[in-house]
Structure 1
Amino acid sequence: MNQNEDKKKSRFSRFWKKYSNVIILLLIVGVTVAIILTQVDPIEFRNTLDQARGEFLLLGIGCIIVYWLLEAYMLLKLLRRENPKEKFSFAFTLMMVGQYYNLLDPSSSGGQPIQLYAMSKKKYGLGTGTAVLVQKYALYQITITCLAITSIIFCVTELNQSLDAAKWLIVIGLALNIAAVVLIIILVFNPNAAKGILSGCVKILFRLHLLKKPEKYHKKVDHFVGEYKLAVDGLKSQKKQTVYLFLISIVQMVAFYSVNHFVYLSLGLSSINAITLISLQAILYVAVAFIPTPGAAGGAEAGFLLIFGPIYGAAYAPVAMILWRMITFYFILVFGGIYLSIHSIKMGKEKVAAIEEELSEEVDYLIEEKK
């Protein structure tokens, strides 16, 4: 009897490890839809949805495609530092791996091990692969934070309309992103200081009994600082290209934020200009980035209704939120799933863990070599 129970528990454990992210995502989506349907008139909702103009929604999808192409282009430029003959098709596949698996992972980092695996099959070393991904992430983090700060300055009046409801979401999200950028800047000029700050945070969390086994987290700090130091050295060595990629990154994120503008136009609305909508979307993006659910599910929808509710109005806001989410989240998941199925790029969690372990050893070696 005990053996049967152990087998059932073991099967359940394997099933949960494999599908937990998908199950959590479906639950959050189901609860969100249920809440929305209880707050709106179904007939009015359907009528508003039917009135949406398809050509503007297609332009919104076009923004996602531009976003993808620019992401792949930036990865290609970084990959060609190691292999000048690398093809755009591989960079696009690498991009899609990151987009798809990051949306499924609560920490938005599930794609990195699989991207490293794909690069290893193309004879890229793990150190090189890590440098490429961390360099791209550093550019992304600086870009979204700079755009958010600029947007807050530009949209003070509009934010005052929803500030009471959304202020803490905005403050926490922006604070975390600014902290990440400050840390990156410190890493550029003084890696040891950055290591000291992170180690200090680990000690504080341990004393507050929020962490156990601090030595484990101190080791993670060493790896984090080591990875970023290697990546930052690469960015500093080619300053002109780094500035160029930063500008491309700005265009890329503006394209992504523009989806909401085309959703707004699709509903026949026109009183708010594109710059304001894009700016508010930049603020929403950083506000929900810290939410630990796949694709920030739940938080993204709630944040949208809080920030854009006064702009769309009670009748249009739920429809706008669903259309926006369909394009910026579900379309990416569906397209990414089909694309990666065709290219057969998938791994179990055991393989991911093995790559992460191998990566840690490679980073240790490269750090020691640099000393």
Structure 2
Amino acid sequence: MENKKKTIFNVVFLLVVFVGTIYGVFYGEDLGEIAQIIKTVNPLWLIPGVACVVVFIWGESIIIYYMMHTLGIRLKKRTCFLFSSVGFFFSCITPSASGGQPAQIYYMKKEKIPIPVSTLVLMIVTITYKLVLVVIGVALTIFGQGFIHAYLWNVRHVFYLGTALNVFCVTAMLILVFHPVLARDIMVKGLALIEKMHLMKPRRSRLEKLEASMDQYRATAVYLKEHVKVLIEVFGITVFQRVALFAATWFVYRAFGLSGTSAVVIVILQGTIAVAVDMLPLPGGMGISEQLFLRIFLPIFGSQLLLPGMILSRGLGYYTELFISAIFTIVANFTIGRREED
């Protein structure tokens, strides 16, 4: 019953944010003119943009396949692609992408993968996934002030906030992994304080769940210490994966026949949007991503092509990802774990 209520809440929340985004973006705009402009794009440039989205989803599946292999679990690559699709679909439709990993763990369990193993793999995926954003944010903050002044000055506060939140998140996760005793003490004391303030009722089961989660973090620490090379390779794949998705905007740029701004600049700018919105409690960064695009890419697309460019860029980077992952999530629902029933 609780899961059903949570699902209903997520669907309603997604629809509210979606409607609010549509209203905020298109209010007062000439939709007919926008449609005419979009019709002028060269569709051949959009094909590799779609391929970038597929590569993005495929990249995580390769990481899952590779890490499962190091743990002695043999899986087919297409099964890992389904796991990846499930994760991205539920991440796209839930606040702060909170539904992705629980859904993946559920489907992995149907394939007889132990929950501690799936949790370990997905935790490392999360750490490396966010670590890429931390590298982008910190590198630009320290070494890219000229770039920030040129392209991000009007949204610098949002960018710095996103960078800080990602640094905090990754740091907290690494503390949990490499200093589990310290992390346990902090969490136990924090839990006791919350209960003392009567914000939560004291429950023994809550402490038991905390102990279980600490076991998972300890297992992650052991794995990382014994497989440093694996972690480096996974980080490299993650960089390629994220750059592929960011590059979709460059193909949109070229589809309008535009030139003069390098692919590197556009990829970095799209990366800064990801840094800014990743930790915000919005499905797929919906709403804020569109607004940031309209501010950051104005000098690149120009006022006339800016909104059509944003529509196609977000159409590829979020809605195409949502559509593709939804299709393969349906496939996963009908194929994963079915062998045991045959």
Q: TM-score, normalised by structure 2?
A: 0.86
Name the residue aligned to 2:327. 338
Q: Secondary structure at the match of 1:272?
A: coil
Deviations 1:317-358 (A, max 9, x none): 211111111112111222222222233269xxxxxxxxxxxx
Hey, what does 2:339 align to over in structure 1? none
- Report matched runs for 1:1-371 at 5 Å: 17-152=6-141, 155-161=144-150, 163=152, 165-197=154-186, 212-213=199-200, 222=211, 224-344=213-333
Conserved 8 A contact 1:263-1:320: yes
Tell me the distance in 2 between the aligned counterparts of 1:320 and 1:122.
41
Task: Give the Cα–Cα distance (whole angstroms) in 1 for the partners of residues 136 and 163 of structure 2.
Answer: 11
Please identify, of 79-88 and 235-244, the stretch whose mean Cα deviation from structure 2 is larger.
Answer: 79-88
Rate the CA distance shift 1:294–1:219 in 2: closer, same or farther, 3 A.
farther
Residue of structure 1 equivalent to 2:338 = none
Letter in 2 for 1:134: M
1:125-154 CA-partner distances (Å, limit 9, x unpaired): 111111111121112121221133334556
> Which amino acid letter does the alignment assign opposite residue 131 of structure 1?
L
Q: Following TM superposition, by how much is the alpha carbon of 1:92 offset from its aligned partner in structure 2, in angstroms?
A: 0.8
Instruction: Note the aligned Cα RMSD (angstroms).
Output: 3.0
Shift of 1:291: 1.9
Q: Is the 8 A contact 1:173 1:286 kept in 2?
A: yes
Tell me how far apart the structure 2 counterparts of residues 28 and 95 of structure 1 sit (CA, whole Å): 24
Whole-angstrom distance in 2 between the partners of 1:194 and 1:66: 36
> CA distance change for structure 1 residues 195 and 53 in 2, over 3 Å: closer, same or farther?
farther
| Contact persistence 1:57–1:263 (CA under 8 A) | yes
Identity of aligned residues (%): 27
Partners of 2:298 and 2:314 lie apart in 1 by: 15
> Which position in structure 2 is the counterpart of 1:362?
none
Whichever residue aligns with residue 134 of structure 2, its letter is T
One-letter amino acid matched to 1:261: W
Secondary structure (helix, strand or coil) at the match of 1:316 reads helix
Contact 2:41–2:256, Cα closer than 8 Å, also in 1: yes
The one-character-per-residue Cα deviations of 1:205-240 (angstroms, maximum 9, x if unpaired) are: 889x8x922867877665554433322321221111
Q: Deviations over 1:44-68 (max 9, x none)?
A: 3223212222111111111111112
Question: Aligned partner of 1:298: which letter?
Answer: G
Asked if structure 1 preserves the Cα contact closer than 8 Å seen for 2:180 and 2:214, the reply is yes
In structure 1, stretches of 5+ residues that fail to align are 1-9, 347-371
Q: 1:70-89: per-residue Cα shift (whole Å, max 9, x none)?
A: 21110001111333532111
Structure 1 pair 203/170, CA: closer, same or farther in 2 (3 Å)? farther
Code of the aligned partner of 2:162: G
Offset at 1:175? 0.4
- Take 1:181 and 1:157, find their aligned partners in 2: how far apart are those partners? 26
Kept in 2, the 8 Å contact 1:161–1:310? The answer is: no
Distance 1:198 1:175, change over 3 A: farther
Q: Which amino acid aligns with 2:199?
A: K
1:16 Cα deviation after fit: 5.5
The structural deviation recorded for 1:19 is 3.1
1:215–1:236 distance in 2 versus 1, CA, 3 Å: farther
Q: Secondary structure at the match of 2:70?
A: coil
1:197 offset after TM fit, Å? 4.9
Q: Answer yes or no: is the 8 Å Cα contact 1:191–1:229 preserved in 2.
A: yes
Aligned residues: 334
Question: Is the 8 Å Cα contact of residues 151 and 280 (structure 1) preserved in structure 2?
Answer: no
